[in-house]
Amino acid sequence: MKKPEYEKLPREFRADYAKFAAVRLALSAVVLAAAAFGCAFLDFSGMKYPAMGRVLLAGAAIAADCVLLGLHRFLRPSWEGTVLSVGAGYKLKAAGEKGKPAKRIIVELEIDRGDPKPYLPELYREDKHAVGDQHINVYQTEAPYKEGDTLVYLRGTKVPARYGVKDAEDLTDPKFVCAFCGEVNELKHERCRECGRTVLR
Ligand SMILES: [Zn+2]
């Protein structure tokens, strides 16, 4: 697996990434420390199984860190690679907001990271463009990833970012995706319209 060369990434992006990672990890540590404190000093003797109270508290803290702060994403190593192919499909979710089954768009990428076999991640994107019963496949029309793109995934971020998209003149409708929140942005934007962080392109 090829490691990203951090020094090649724009300095402003690296600064945003360092801040993002530091804040997430610090907040996660606070939550875990609070849970550890609770496990040590709270009185669980009223419970049928006092040990279970500690396990539940620790589990809740870890789950909260993963859901709210994406702590689990820091376990995935960073990598860099080239897109070999882009596919798209749907997955059905059990029920949407109004009780109807909701479609979830998957992007199936084939990425050469220098491994013997290509890496095949499935990326999700919620369908924001559902009109009535018709779902418009945002990823197929916006296609934030393209064949031949260089992608970089940094530990802790949500999705791999596409970068090195140079002159957009002859590309049709060029877009790129924010590594921090997954929002699809126009090439002309320097900061993500969703989270305000510097985007890689
Ligand atoms: Zn963003």
Residue 32: which of 59, 72, 4, 14 has the closest Cα?
A: 59
User: How close is the Cα of 101 to the center of ligand 1, in Å?
Assistant: 27
Q: At 103, is the pLDDT very low, low, confident or very high (cuts 50, 70, 90)?
A: low
- Residue 52 Cα to ligand 1 midpoint, Å, equals 39
Going from the Cα of 183 to the center of ligand 1, the distance in angstroms, rounded, reads: 5
Between strands 130-131 and 134-135, the pairing is antiparallel
Burial class (CB in 10 A: 0-12, 13-18, 19+), 156: buried
Convert the pLDDT of each residue in 156-200 to its tens digit: 999 898 877 655 555 566 778 899 988 888 888 889 999 999 988
CA of 51 to the centre of ligand 1 (A): 41
Give me ligand 1 centre to Cα 197, in Å: 6
Determine the distance from the C-alpha atom of residue 90 to the mean position of all C-alpha atoms in its chain, rounded to a whole number: 18
Q: Does residue 151 register a pLDDT over 80?
A: yes
CA of 11 to the centre of ligand 1 (A): 17
Q: What is the mean pLDDT of the chain?
A: 83
* Secondary structure (3-state) at 140: helix
Answer whether residue 91 shows pLDDT above 80.
no
CB distance 138 to 127 below 8 Å = yes
Q: Is pLDDT at 50 greater than 80 in this prediction?
A: no
Backbone angles phi, psi at 133, to 5 degrees: -90, -5
Q: Which residues contact 39 (CB under 8 A, 6 or more apart)?
A: 54, 57, 58
Instruction: Categorize the per-residue pLDDT at 144 as very low, low, confident or very high, splitting at 50, 70 and 90.
Output: confident
Cα(14) to ligand 1 centroid in Å equals: 14
Q: Ligand 1 centroid vs 135 CA: distance in angstroms?
A: 23
pLDDT band at 130 (very low <50, low <70, confident <90, very high): low
17 C-alpha to ligand 1 centroid (Å)? 11
* Ligand 1 centroid to residue 122 C-alpha, Å: 19
Q: How far apart are CA 110 and CA 121, in angstroms?
A: 7
How far, in Å, from the CA of 192 to the mean position of ligand 1? 5
What pLDDT is attached to residue 142?
Answer: 63
Of 15 and 96, which is predicted with more confidence? Answer: 15
